[in-house]
Amino acid sequence: MSTTLERYSESVMNTFGTPRLVLARGRGAEVWDEDGCRYVDLLGGIAVNALGHAHPALLAAVTEQLGTLGHISNFFTSGPQVELAERLLALLDAPDGGRVFLTNSGTEANEAAIKLSRRTGRTHLVAAAGAFHGRTMGALALTSKAAYREPFEPLPGHVTFVPYGDEAALEAAVTEETAAVVLEPIQGEAGVVSPPDGYLAAARRITSAHGALLWFDEIQSGMGRTGAWLAHTASGVTPDVVTLAKGLGGGFPIGACIGLGEAGRLLGPGNHGTTFGGNPVACAAALAVLDTVEKEGLLAHATELGETLRRGLAHAHVTEVRGAGLFIGLSLSEPRATAVARAAMDAGFIVNDCAPDRIRMAPPLVLTDEQGQELLAAWPGILAAAYEEETA
């Protein structure tokens, strides 16, 4: 055990288990540990590092903003905060009335959306099996995984879970008491799972029929991850609420709860707050991410490289390859995901074993074609090592 890991175990709460690596530095889609070993980062801080590590544009934006105006409190506003809100509304093609509440993280964005939904006068929420919406108590109430929920029950609120992608189950669950239906357009924690065609449109029809809000959690799937700014736009559906975080700040903590149309006016003065949300440095970081994704053509790059990777990751031990853009999920023929992640790390690649038989990849959007080919060349050996390890 390294000195750093010993110090970690003696000083940091053990909520994550033992860290798999002690990372020392990163550049682009590569990181190095404290022993100088290099890894291709195919996790991207769980879909956070959209521009990879140490991107010059992000460094410049944060440095310049912090040297000009740092924290200011919410008694005031700043140019970056207003510009970012305007840019996000434009990305969503938000109907009139749309407004943005800026937070520090995804779970805080979802907490804001929960409170926004309460302003409808209703309290019932509908979420999907397999969903992950965060770890704070309100967001956890919408997260389906029993291992996350059970140690903290009873959780707040009245929540009904329905099978993801099951239109009939959704229709049966939504009533005149339902404040909102929350769905990930592509589920991340579940292993990058997409719903059937037409499901999001059905959710819009059902919620509208009952006067409920339709809320898309795009915290993992948004900000170019799928090759589009937002994963739901291909459906043609306009939701009432969208929550964002992760890739929005490219590694700088920031999230957003966006109310579209009338939903943007449900929260009023005194209804909600945040000390750091809308911080000008975080907003400058997010604006740098938006600008760089546009200037470097990273949406098209994510689409093209993602297609190449999904084709190349097919293998006899892989029963399904899913996803869009650089949001990739794999199902394995047996529950060997932990062994695959371990073998990948031994080979110099960081991937996520998000379920016993599922692998998730969400690399930086700046992952190069060469790094992608490096993975594909190593992939058969990684699987062979993992399957041999488990049967040894």
Choose the catalytic residue: 217, 240, 327, 349.
217
**Length of the chain in residues, anyone?**
392
Choose the catalytic residue: 41, 240, 246, 353.
246
CA nearest to 116, candidates 237, 219, 261:
261
DSSP 138-163: HHHHT---HHHHGGGPSPSSEEEEE-
Choose the catalytic residue: 101, 132, 216, 327.
132
Interior CA angle at 98 toward 94 and 103, to 5°? 105
For residue 264, give the DSSP letter. Answer: G
Q: What Cα–Cα distance (Å) separates residue 285 from each residue in 44, 56, 85, 291, 321?
A: 17, 11, 13, 10, 33
Respond yes or no: is residue 152 known to be catalytic: no
CA nearest to 192, candidates 158, 226, 234:
226
The per-residue b/e assignment along 21-41, b for 16 or more CB within 10 angstroms, e otherwise, is bebeebebbbbbbeeeeebbb
290-293 long-range contacts (CB < 8 A, ≥24 apart) are 290/87, 290/91, 291/57, 292/51, 292/55, 292/57, 292/58, 292/250, 293/50, 293/51, 293/223, 293/224, 293/365
Spatial separation of the C-alpha atoms in residues 186 and 220, rounded to whole Å? 8
Respond yes or no: is residue 291 known to be catalytic: no
Respond yes or no: is residue 217 known to be catalytic: yes
Q: What positions carry a catalytic annotation?
A: 132, 217, 246
